[in-house]
Amino acid sequence: MKILVCDKTESDAIEKMRLAGLTVDTNFEITPEELPTILPDYDGCVVRSRTKIRQPLIDVCPNLKIIVRGGVGLDTIDADYARSKGITVMNTPKASSASVAELAIGYMFMLARNLYKASSTMKAEKWDKKAFEGDEISGKTLGLIGIGNIGREVARRANALGMTVIACDPYIKEAEGVRLVALDELLARSDYISLHLPKTKESADMLGKAQFGKMRTGVRIINCARGGIINEAVLHEALTSGKVAGAALDVYAEEPPTDWKLAKMDNVICSPHIGAATREAQGRVGAEVAEKLIEFAESH
């Protein structure tokens, strides 16, 4: 079986696949223009966030049998269409859960204690000690929109920190240490709101003007899930008015953004989609990708 690895994947995982008898080629810089001329020669491919596998590309790849996304979501792949063509589509939903959860928790601390702004003033040689009175997160209510693998990891850590954790997820009936509530109740009660759900037709722009209107004034929002779930224009308005005290964003409607006004706000902390960018997560993602491809090859 010939596999094309389109995005950076751990070398140990690639070597493991080769030792199992797979022919593995890597092209971590392959462009969308090159894919239709190269991918048709392969039985399978590995992608991360960078490479998109859409219907037109699938249509010119008659040999394609499997697509593995090293990551949580499948929003970079036209998965339903691929499956309708008999192509197996897989991802690695658990491998990066702890890393993303830790980033979300870290962002909560940064927002609560104004750490980004405090650090910036020190780099500017300013001693503005009285400007940075913050809050403790213990005793606060954390609302999780989505309580899958990553949401549960966030909940465990938040419970240990003394937070009250509530969650909204239509696909989950119960979660340890978490009270499940309707979205409107979550919006009204939460001091912090953290998103942990996939980007779908149903979740696109799910936090818009009406939803922000139901939030308590001074809420803080963290998005380490997917861009486009929060309406960025409405978020900008809420941050400007003070309805939202602060936001921490790792994902954006466009990546990289073409409009940087959110990133430049004083009450916004940003990072360039690094939720899974830890050595530990990358190792687990690579290992899981290799295992899935080897199992598929052995069964076909």
Q: What are the structural domains, with CATH classification, of the chain?
A: 2-95+279-299 (3.40.50.720), 97-270 (3.40.50.720)
Give residue 91's pLDDT: 93
Alpha carbons 110 and 104: distance in angstroms, whole number: 10
C-alpha angle 204-221-215 in degrees, rounded to nearest 5: 85
Q: Out of 54, 216, 236, 273, pick the active-site residue.
A: 273
Q: Out of 152, 157, 189, 226, pick the active-site residue.
A: 226
- Report pTM: 0.89
Q: Could you check whether the bond before residue 257 is cis, i.e. omega within 30 degrees of 0?
A: no
Main-chain dihedrals φ then ψ at residue 258, nearest 5 degrees: -100, -20
Residues of the chain above pLDDT 70, percent: 100
Query: Is 255 assigned a catalytic role?
Result: yes
Q: What average pLDDT does the segment 267-285 reach?
A: 94
Q: Out of 185, 237, 255, 291, pick the active-site residue.
A: 255
pLDDT above 90: residue 237: yes
Alpha carbons 104 and 221: distance in angstroms, whole number: 10
pLDDT above 90: residue 72: no
Give residue 49's pLDDT: 83
Give residue 196's pLDDT: 96
Give residue 214's pLDDT: 98
Q: What average pLDDT does the segment 216-243 reach?
A: 97
Query: Is 226 assigned a catalytic role?
Result: yes
Give residue 229's pLDDT: 96
pLDDT above 90: residue 94: no
Tokens standing for residue 78: 């036209």
Query: Is 176 assigned a catalytic role?
Result: no
Give residue 200's pLDDT: 87
Closest among 92, 213, 237, 97 to 155, alpha carbons compared: 97
pLDDT in tens, 7-21: 999 999 999 999 999
Alpha carbons 137 and 141: distance in angstroms, whole number: 8
pLDDT above 90: residue 300: no
Query: CA–CA distance from 244 to each of 9, 86, 141, 262 (Å)?
Result: 38, 46, 15, 13
Q: What average pLDDT does the segment 52-78 reach?
A: 93
Closest among 129, 6, 16 to 64, alpha carbons compared: 6
Closest among 32, 41, 34 to 3, alpha carbons compared: 41
Give the dihedral of Cα atoms 211, 137, 251, 209; nearest 10 deg.
10
At residue 73 the predicted structure's pLDDT band, cuts being 50, 70 and 90, is confident
Q: Tell me the average pLDDT of the chain.
A: 95
Give residue 146's pLDDT: 96
Q: Amino acid letter at 47?
A: V
Give residue 37's pLDDT: 96
pLDDT above 90: residue 93: no
pLDDT in tens, 199-215: 888 999 999 999 999 99
Query: CA–CA distance from 79 to each of 101, 161, 296 (Å)?
Result: 26, 38, 17
pLDDT above 90: residue 252: yes
Give residue 151's pLDDT: 96
Give residue 107's pLDDT: 98
Residues of the chain above pLDDT 90, percent: 92
